[in-house]
Amino acid sequence: MHYAYRYRLHPTEAQRETLDHYRDTCRQLYNHALTEFEHIPNSAGTLNQRVRQVRDQLPDLTDWWDELNDLYSTVAQAAVMRIEDSIKSLSELKQNGYNVGSLNWKAPSEFRSFTYVQSGFEFDNKNGQTVLSLSKLADIPLTVHREIPEDVSIKEVCIKKERTGEWYASFAVEDKEEPAKPENPDRCIGIDVGILKYSHDTDGRAVGSLDLQDERERLKREQRSLSRKQHGSHNWEKQRVRVAECHQQLTRKRHDFLHTLSNYYATEYDMVAVEDLDVKSMMESAGNSQSTSSAAWDTFTTLLEYKCKREGTHFAEVEPAGTTKECASCGVASEKPLWVREHSCPACGFEMDRDANAAINILSRGFEAIGLGQSEATPVETALPLFTSSGAFDVVDGKRVIETGSPTLRERTAKAVSE
Ligand SMILES: [Zn+2]
């Protein structure tokens, strides 16, 4: 199950208040349930069982808590079950080495959504306007810019208020059966995802990271302006929304870029290999490690994996250690400082652009990971001819990925990497 369709809601002023009231009731319920949950010893069962135990108290709660009767039943249940997700993501953070405490009560600004599960929602048409009809809540006008196909079954809808004050409805749909993966993939690619700047692939393509300079500067300006306003005042609130809009714009642009790029690779190839970024960013973390770009590439591989699944494309995440040092031709490792852009093998004399060499190693490891490629031609032989024409990369500007979508990647102009 994944959220696939997201629509902007256009609630009236009165509906906005109802939505906010609903959201806040869910928040209070969540906080109450969290306290109850903490009274249940770990020995009482699995995480899911313990949270369900709290959920089953709901009928008793409604006896004295009148406002809970305003909530549609699955909305209340989902608010309680959110504890399970919160705890899971908390322990994931812990596993990744973050220093996190226990779950806290959620403040109004941190609890921005509620969810209808299975029932209580439907599309309707009122006076020529499409509305989302939510049980025990309202018929909220919305813009359906993209129809949900008829054969798709909707599992739940999440109603969320963004920091900008805009409301959205996201629909989660059942995952379709994955298409079969090709037995002998003939279009294979390795991508060396550059933490610092470019991603390079074994088809001689280099994609620049997205230039968000203007957006970042605008965000900074608006933030400075916000800090000069009196906290909580009317002007402050107006400015706060402006800052939130800047954040939204940044996120949108980045997502557009990453979606387009990952979609391109997943649809054009039968097999895609990338490095495991969790490991890679740890390796490269010297001081200013957790950069925005590494987070963005992390999103990229997540999207790529999901899209490959959907397209029936093999996806391999490989061990990143040594991909730059190893020779793609003979496998011998040699030290290579960052400023050395050429790979020149002391053992076999093989020469190639540093990142091209790394990308081929990633592809080779990908072949190994999915159990292919060792039979006839070695991976290097498979990938090499792609480079012999110029030996240099074609550079695709990150901006152009968004502007024209995938075709840009196909009709790229040849331009050598100058650094
Ligand atoms: Zn060599």
Give the pLDDT confidence of 165-175 residue by residue, as tens digits.
999 999 998 87
> Ligand 1 mean position to 343 CA, how many Å?
9
Q: Which two tokens stand for residue 222?
A: 């608006």
> Ligand 1 mean position to 304 CA, how many Å?
31
Q: How confident is the model at residue 338 (pLDDT cuts 50, 70, 90)?
A: confident
Across residues 331-339, what is the average pLDDT?
84
pLDDT at 381: 44
Which residues are close to ligand 1, an ion, with C-beta < 5 A? 327, 329-330, 345, 347-348, 350
When the pLDDT of each residue in the chain is averaged and rounded to a whole number, the result is 83
Strands 199-201, 188-193: pairing is: antiparallel
pLDDT digits (tens, 9 = 90+) for 135-178: 999 999 998 888 887 778 889 999 999 999 999 999 998 877 77
Top-confidence residue, 146 or 415: 146
Using the Cα atoms of residue 263, residue 268, residue 269 and residue 272 in order, give the sign of their dihedral.
Answer: negative
> Ligand 1 mean position to 364 CA, how many Å?
14
pLDDT at 29: 96
Q: How confident is the model at residue 379 (pLDDT cuts 50, 70, 90)?
A: very low
pLDDT at 384: 42
**Coil, helix or strand at residue 194:** coil
> What phi and psi, each to the nearest 5 degrees, are found at residue 366?
-65, -45
pLDDT at 400: 63
Residue 30 has pLDDT above 90, yes or no: yes
Query: What pTM was computed for the model?
Result: 0.69
Top-confidence residue, 396 or 222: 222
Say which residue the tokens 């909220």 belong to.
140
Alpha-carbon 93 to chain mean position? 16
Segment among 110-114, 257-261, 266-270 with least mean pLDDT? 257-261
Q: What percent of the chain lies above the pLDDT cut of 70?
A: 83
Please state, in angstroms and rounded to a whole number, the distance separating the CA atoms of residues 199 and 193: 4
